[in-house]
């Protein structure tokens, strides 16, 4: 099989965001588009000849076709071996686990995470380095720079490979090993958690419902929850991965995981509910008619970490993204360990974990994880909660209320305004920033502004500086409002408004978050001129 060099012209729009390059499927299907970006990755990382690469994705539309193209390009670019998930499937945390277990040079993950799938939906691709985590900014910027200058890409002409059964095959001079996508990940989970205790919980009448949202975690949840832990068959719903996620939006929140929410808020609700997203790295946790805020979930996992065998030796530290509530900070302070505040994007946690500074990390956007991999991990968080429930013998709601009674409650919510015109969203942010010099000292109802800034972060490990990470308005009582434009969408702009207030009084811990934050919501809308500038009166999603 001879190597072909295909002449091409550069694209100017292949700048990776916080989680790789995401575009519409139709964009990736256009001539040379995927190939150019893959060649830019290969040119940038300069893998030594014979290196091993991990390859897989979340099963969304165009996943299989893209994998065939990448395999043919990998052999033409000198890779010696590719580990590819059976059927082209590998959840994002499982891919990270495989990279780390087999010490590969890196991996390519095909996913647009929680974005919709299907022929008219989204597609994504990102490169993960040898530590199993997303490529840091210095690499993604170099990939982007290369994508704007390359004039050709390399591949071999060969038939598509059969990927639906495990086994080893050759493609040109490269070995392709089709691996069970679940086995290595399940083995890792069994080493971290007390499966015997969870098995006893599930065998004692405790009922759970896991919503896989027709996304990648269906096979993982069925193997671990139903087969290995003994949950009854059917405990995993929507467990067959589909290229269009069954027509749904694979984002595990109260709006899009509506089937699970209806079950958990119904008359015969199970004891525990959970969901994961398109590529398996996010999670939502529910009790009976009770939602656990992701910021609280991170804090509760940290406070109860010693109950899980893999974390019984203690935590090195905790890290959270800037928009995530300070609930985890309070736990870290009591444990006497550091808590780091980073920009949004899992790659910022990688340096801290590699340096042994943190064990647990999380983002308010339904992402939680630990140093067992270098990605957030949805099913891992679900298993951690089951481990806690098995050991403490309390309902989900009671565990949360007891946590608040001990640490206080960081009342928290995020309001998403999706699909805004980019010009309007950018103008809104500019309007906010223009007020920063005059805002400190001003009073708005019960709140007096203490500071305003545009969050920046100097990495304590490599000294790299990240700027423009979100606009913060902090108040004298510790409350705050954060405005940020998300980098995970493919159409228009998504404005996220984060609202947080601390409530130490247990008598007020049962108050609805939106009611408790009502005054801050009005202040956020007033300062941003939201309705005037966007025409929106209500968020698309509230979490």
Residues identified as active-site: 113
Phi, psi of 341 (to 5 degrees): -110, 115
Sheet holding 493-503, edge to edge: 443-444, 447-454, 471-475, 480-485, 493-503, 409-420, 541-542
Return the closest-CA partner of residue 17 out of 144, 118, 109, 108.
Answer: 144
What is the CB neighbour count within 10 angstroms for residue 535? 10
- The terminus-to-terminus CA distance of the chain in angstroms comes to 53
DSSP string covering 114-139, please? TS--STTSEEEEEEE-TTSSBPPHHH
Rounded Cα distance, 267 and 466, in Å:
48
Helix (H) or strand (E) holding 39: helix 33-45
Token pair 């429930």: residue = 389
For residues 479 and 501, the answer to whether their CB atoms sit within 8 Å is yes
Calculate ∠ Cα 94-337-346, nearest 5°: 30
Cα dihedral 298, 303, 307, 310, rounded to 10, equals 60
Rounded Cα distance, 348 and 316, in Å:
17
The bridge status of strand 152-156 relative to strand 167-171 is unpaired
């Amino acid at each position: 099989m001879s190597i072909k060099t295909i002449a091409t012209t550069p694209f100017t729009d292949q700048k990776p965001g916080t989680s790789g390059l995401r575009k519409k499927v139709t964009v990736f299907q256009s001539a040379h588009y995927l190939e150019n970006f893959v060649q830019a990755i290969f040119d940038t990382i300069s893998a030594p000849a014979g290196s091993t690469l991990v390859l897989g994705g979340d099963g969304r539309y165009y996943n299989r076709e893209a994998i065939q193209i990448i395999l043919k390009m990998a052999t033409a670019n000198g890779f010696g071996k590719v580990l590819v998930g059976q059927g082209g499937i590998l959840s994002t945390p499982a891919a990270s686990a495989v990279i780390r277990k087999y010490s590969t040079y890196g991996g390519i993950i095909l996913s647009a995470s929680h974005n919709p799938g299907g022929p008219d939906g989204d597609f994504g691709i990102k490169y993960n380095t040898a530590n199993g985590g997303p490529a840091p900014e210095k690499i993604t910027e170099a990939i982007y720079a290369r994508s704007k200058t390359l004039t050709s890409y390399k591949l071999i002409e060969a038939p598509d490979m059969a990927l639906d059964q495990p086994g080893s095959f050759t493609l040109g001079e490269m070995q392709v090993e089709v691996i069970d996508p679940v086995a290595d990940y399940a083995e890792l989970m069994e080493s971290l958690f007390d499966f015997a205790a969870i098995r006893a919980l599930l065998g004692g009448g405790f009922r759970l419902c896991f919503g896989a949202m027709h996304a990648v975690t269906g096979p993982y949840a069925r193997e671990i929850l139903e087969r290995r832990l003994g949950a009854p068959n059917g405990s995993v719903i929507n467990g067959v991965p589909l290229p269009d996620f069954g027509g749904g939006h694979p984002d595990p929140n109260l709006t899009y995981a509506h089937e699970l929410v209806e079950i958990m808020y119904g008359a015969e609700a199970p004891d525990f509910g959970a969901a994961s997203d398109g590529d398996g790295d996010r999670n939502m946790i529910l009790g009976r008619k009770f939602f656990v805020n992701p910021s609280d979930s991170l804090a509760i996992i940290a406070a109860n970490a010693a109950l899980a065998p893999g974390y019984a030796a203690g935590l090195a530290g905790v890290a959270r993204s800037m928009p995530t509530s300070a609930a985890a900070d309070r736990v870290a302070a009591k444990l006497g360990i550091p808590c780091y505040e980073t920009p949004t994007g899992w790659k910022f946690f990688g340096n801290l974990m590699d340096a042994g500074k943190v064990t647990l990390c999380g983002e308010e956007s339904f992402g939680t994880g630990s140093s067992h991999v270098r990605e957030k991990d949805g099913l891992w968080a679900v298993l951690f909660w089951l481990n806690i429930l098995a050991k403490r013998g309390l309902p989900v709601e009671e565990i949360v209320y007891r946590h608040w009674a001990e640490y206080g409650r960081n009342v928290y919510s995020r309001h998403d305004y999706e699909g805004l015109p980019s010009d309007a969203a950018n103008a809104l942010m500019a309007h906010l920033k223009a007020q920063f010099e005059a805002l400190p000292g001003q009073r708005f109802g019960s709140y007096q502004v203490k500071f305003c800034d545009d969050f920046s972060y100097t990495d304590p490990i490599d000294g790299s500086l990240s700027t423009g990470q979100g606009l913060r308005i902090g108040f004298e009582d510790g409350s705050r409002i954060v405005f940020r434009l998300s980098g995970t969408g493919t159409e228009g702009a998504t404005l996220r408004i984060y609202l947080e207030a601390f409530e130490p009084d247990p008598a007020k811990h049962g108050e609805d978050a939106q009611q408790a934050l009502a005054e801050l919501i009005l202040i956020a809308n007033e300062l941003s001129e939201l309705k005037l500038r966007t025409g929106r009166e209500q968020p698309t999603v509230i979490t």
